[in-house]
Amino acid sequence: MNTEIKARFRVDRSDFALDVDLSLPGRGITALFGHSGSGKTTCLRAMAGLERASAGYFALGDEVWQDESRGHFIPVHRRALGVVFQEASLFPHLSVRGNMEFGLKRKTTGTTRFSLPEIAELLGIAHLLNRSPDQLSGGERQRVAIARALLAAPKILLMDEPLAALDLKRKLEILPYLERLHSELAIPIIYVSHAPDEVARLADHLVLLDAGRVVASGALNQVLSRIDLPATFADDAGVVIEATVAEHEVDDLTRLEFPGGAIYVSRRHEPVGTPLRCRIHARDVSLTLLPQMQSSILNCVSASVVDLAPTDTPGHVLVKLDVTGEPLLARITRRSAEKLEIRPGLALRAQIKAVALLA
């Protein structure tokens, strides 16, 4: 069964043009990332059918929702999709239960993916069903909006910066629930964001947009590790590592293992065998040609240089490394690169000064 998503849109405005041609996976979270004005929201609205591109094509597997070359366009209310915006836009006169039941009424197919109690439990809102929207926090309102969208039994969920209107505390409250959706939903999610940490924590596939064009599209780490795109993430350049809890050690450290070796972090509560997603920023990686001796840096892995490129920071370069098949980035000074004679193929040691746990 074909589950690939095909999206080709051209939207022309007086001050902006969107021109994209995308093939996206039919499962997991695809993030549309870029600075303000890059075309993320316009692209998502075109996918939803909220904005009709004069030259447009959108197909979810074998189901074609738009093909302007044949004059074919299914309006948004007949598409089996869910949309969640920055603002929850709950109906103020309905309870939480009433808002969720509205989603059930919007079903365009006979398919039922979740019952109301199941989705309430999944999103941690079962205890809120009798409350009115004005009694909810911002994070709770957004979870109700997601529940309402999912109860419509969508074949795809579109999320337009769902955390942008929340403060840091509410963002941290809702992120674990978005991770649960990622692990438990079989439908694809298109997630618009301009926040690198959200993308690193949630996405499987990443699309970088700039001025209405696709700069890069691919698996998360494949795109994050490209050194020809350093300006996109600026100081946030880095990679994501899928690691596993290997051991809780006696000195309040936890050892994580990944295909490239082992790294240590402050003691975690997860049991051995639990997968964890980590982010390693290029600015937190230093390079040495010598074996590690008498260093305070615990995390040190063998690596080889793949390539290097200049950055937007004067006097610095970005070095792409291969760690037993896993990519890693290091940002070092040009002087250090010259002193160490950094070049493709060079074997060295990468010292990781900090690891950011994303869960």
pLDDT, residue 298, reads 86
What digits encode the pLDDT tens for the residues 164-177?
A: 888 888 888 889 88
Tens digit of each residue's pLDDT (9 = 90 or more) over 282-326? 999 999 998 776 778 889 999 999 999 988 888 999 999 999 999
Amino acid at 13: R
pLDDT of residue 71: 93
Structural domain spans, the chain: 5-224, 238-357
The pLDDT-based confidence of 233 (bands split at 50, 70, 90) is low
User: What average pLDDT does range 98-113 have in this prediction?
Assistant: 79
**Can you give the pLDDT at residue 277?**
92
- Structure confidence at residue 234 as a pLDDT band (50, 70, 90): low
pLDDT for residue 36: 87
Taking CA atoms, 133 is separated from 87, 91, 94, 97, 190, in Å, by 12, 8, 8, 10, 26
* Averaged confidence pLDDT in the chain: 90
pTM comes to 0.90
Fold of 238-357: OB fold (Dihydrolipoamide Acetyltransferase, E2P) (2.40.50)
The answer to whether residues 66 and 58 touch, using CB atoms and an 8 Å cutoff, is yes
Q: How far apart are CA 161 and CA 87, in angstroms?
A: 9
| CATH superfamily, domain at 5-224 | P-loop containing nucleotide triphosphate hydrolases (3.40.50.300)
- Statement: residue 38 has pLDDT above 60: yes
- How far is residue 338 from each of residues 22, 172, 228, 286, 334, measured CA to CA in Å? 40, 42, 20, 14, 6
Q: Report residue 332 as tokens.
A: 């070092």
- More confident position, 280 or 230: 280
Highest mean pLDDT among 90-94, 171-175, 177-181: 90-94
Long-range contacts of 194-197, Cβ-Cβ distance < 8 Å, separation of 24 or more: 194/33, 194/34, 194/35, 194/36, 194/40, 194/161, 194/164, 195/163, 195/164, 196/33, 196/233, 196/236, 197/236, 197/279, 197/358
Q: Is the pLDDT confidence value at 44 over 90?
A: yes
